[in-house]
Chains A and B, each alone.
Chain A
Amino acid sequence: MIGWIIAFFFLVIIILSGGYGWSKIKKEHNEIMSMPFSQINFDELGEGSFEGYFEGGMYKWRENSIKVTIVSGKITDVQVLQNKENRPSEFTNDLFERVINKKSLEVDTISGATLTSKAYLKGLEDALKKAQR
Chain B
Amino acid sequence: MDRQNIAQNELYCMGTLISQKIFGPNSMHAIKASELEIKRLNNMLSRFVSDSDITKINSAAGLMPVMVSDEAFRLLKYSAECSRIYNGCFDITVGSIATLWNEYKIKKISPVRKDIRKQLAKVNFRDILFDPDNSSVLLKKKGQSIDLGGIAKGYASDKVLEVYKNFGIESAFVNFGGNVAVLGSKPDDSPWNVGIRHPRHKDSVIGVVAVKNKSVITSGDYQRYYIDNSGKHYHHILNPKTGYPANSGLISVTVVAESGVLADALSTIFFIAGVEKSIRILEYFPNIDVVFIDNDLNLSITPKLTCSFIPLDGIKVSELD
Contact = CB atoms under 8 A, between A and B. Distances in A.
Bound pair: A and B?
A: yes
Interface of A: 97, 100-101, 104-116, 118-119, 122-123, 125-126
Nearest to B217: A111
A125 to B, nearest CB: 7
A73 B223 CA distance: 36
Contacts of A108: 21, 173, 186, 192-194
Contacts of B194: 107-111
A112 B218 CA distance: 5
B245 interface: no
A66 to B, nearest CB: 18
B288 to A, nearest CB: 15
Given A101-B312, A119-B16, A119-B17, A109 B220 contact: no
B178 A111 contact: yes
16 contacts: A101-B204, A107-B193, A107-B195, A108-B192, A109-B180, A109-B194, A110-B178, A110-B194, A111-B179, A111-B194, A111-B196, A111-B217, A112-B218, A112-B223, A112-B254, A122-B11
Contacts of B143: none
Contacts of B313: 97, 100-101, 104
Interface of B: 10-12, 16-17, 19, 21, 173, 175, 177-180, 186, 192-197, 199, 202, 204-205, 207-209, 216-220, 222-224, 252, 254, 310, 312-314
Contacts of B179: 111
B31 to A, nearest CB: 15
Contacts of A123: 12
Contacts of A101: 204, 312-313
Contacts of B209: 111
B310 A104 contact: yes
A89 B12 CA distance: 43
A112 B268 CA distance: 12
Given A112-B223, A119-B17, A122-B17, A105 B178 contact: no
A111 B204 contact: no
Given A107-B208, A109-B19, A114-B178, 8 more contacts: A105-B195, A111-B179, A112-B197, A113-B197, A114-B223, A118-B17, A119-B12, A123-B12
A15 B219 CA distance: 59
A112 B199 CA distance: 8
A115 B216 CA distance: 17
B212 to A, nearest CB: 12
A125 B12 contact: yes
A97 B204 CA distance: 12
A47 B172 CA distance: 35
A105 B207 CA distance: 7
A107 B203 CA distance: 13
Contact of A122 (B10, B186, B222, B314): B10
A104 to B, nearest CB: 7
Nearest to B215: A111
A115 B10 CA distance: 12
Contacts of A113: 177-178, 195, 197, 202
A113 B11 CA distance: 15
B49 to A, nearest CB: 14
Given A105-B310, A106-B193, A122-B12, A112 B17 contact: no
